[in-house]
Amino acid sequence: MFDVSTAAGKRPAPPAAPASELVRPVLTPIPPPPKRPPLTQREVVLFRGFGSALLLNPGLGACVFSLWTEESAEFFIASRVPLAESARDAVFSNAQEVLGHLYPGRPRPANTRFSTDLPLGGGDGEVAAAQITGLQSSVVVSEEGRAVLFTLLFVSEPDPKLAAAIKETHLLVRRAVSETREAVRYREAFRGLVRRLLEPGLKKYTALVTHSLAVGKCARGFSTYLKLPEKTVEQMTVAALLHDVGMRELAYDRLSERRPLSEPEYRLARDHPSVGAMLLAEIDFPFPVVPLVLHHHERYDGSGYPDQLRGEQIPFGSRLIHIVEAFDAMTSLSSYRPPISREEAVDRIGAKAGTQFDPDLAVRFGEFISSESFDRS
């Protein structure tokens, strides 16, 4: 909810929300999560990192990750020099043989693709099948009919003393990829929970969800633009998505009508940060979210609510969300007031820097909106 006190003047502290206006959520079946992409960008980065490190062993000619589905096999090769077609065929056959133990009778994929990275700069020539002294493939991930395999291609006989280390390498890669995939599942489940908090029960609060998703998206972009740590970007995103979750408990249908609020309705609406913080307090988030939601309507000069915090007493994330929410409320077609241009919204935020908004963040936000980092879709 945008801070309408800019138009209505300073208001008295709000009373507790009437119990009769609180609505118990009705649980409905949760739809299945969207199907994950076969390979994430994180996994590609992880594969490249392993390839670069392992190729420091002069006896290793290539490090290969292959992604297998029923329709395709995609090979990500890190090598000293490119692999000749005969060597690629050998890698394919070795990996398919290992895969055959996992999925007996599965036919050869119709589509095969190879991509090669030369992390050490490359050299002259190619590695042919005749130069291969050994191939070792292992299953790293197997799920939903898909599999990721890890293959080491040797161009000189590995020292028998290194057998245990090579085996440990396969286990290490398996653990690393598995943990990366678990992290992706966790984030998907976590964001699913966040979405679920916005739309409990049978009633669909379209305007609330639209606004919350827009603020979350913009907060993520702005946080990334500020080069905040990855975990902090996730914290800003989640808190921004949930900043107005308290509104769904406070006669939201009436408060979201496209008209100015009456004085009693305005006082009721001012309770939404406190109600939202109460709803979220029982959830064990991996980072602080409740304070950011509770204080996202504090003003930099101390005239906000609920606790009249000022300046840097206000959590950084709350100050960031306050700017992003105001921007969306001023520019969105779903707002209760006619939208204005992005440029005019940035000007209004700049005009209230130091009073309503954090002055430094207001300047950086204007830079962000003008930059290529801002998603204008």
Q: What's the pTM?
A: 0.57
Pairing mode of beta strands 111-117, 72-79: parallel
190-237 residue pLDDT tens? 666 666 666 555 456 677 778 888 999 999 999 999 999 888 998 999
Q: How far is CA 110 from CA 38, 88, 99, 105, 106, in A?
A: 17, 16, 15, 15, 12
293-344 residue pLDDT tens? 999 999 999 999 999 999 999 999 999 999 999 999 899 876 667 889 999 9
pLDDT in the model for residue 276:
87
Q: How far is CA 273 from CA 93, 125, 139, 302, 320, in A?
A: 60, 65, 49, 16, 15
For the chain, how many residues are written?
Answer: 377
pLDDT in the model for residue 192:
66
pLDDT in the model for residue 3:
46
pLDDT in the model for residue 141:
81
pLDDT in the model for residue 33:
44
Q: Which residues have C-beta within 8 Å of that of residue 182, sequence separation ≥ 6?
A: none
pLDDT in the model for residue 245:
84
pLDDT in the model for residue 202:
45
Compute the radius of gyration of the chain from its Cα atoms. 27
Q: Where are the domains of the chain?
A: 41-185, 204-370
Can you tell me the distance from the alpha carbon of 244 to that of 235, in angstroms, rounded to the nearest whole number?
15
Residue reference for tokens 């808190």: 239
Given the candidates 3.10.450.630, 3.40.50.450, 3.30.70.1230, 1.10.3210.10, the CATH classification of the domain at 204-370 is 1.10.3210.10
pLDDT in the model for residue 142:
83
pLDDT in the model for residue 128:
93
Q: Which residues of the chain have pLDDT under 50?
A: 2-37, 202, 255
pLDDT in the model for residue 83:
93
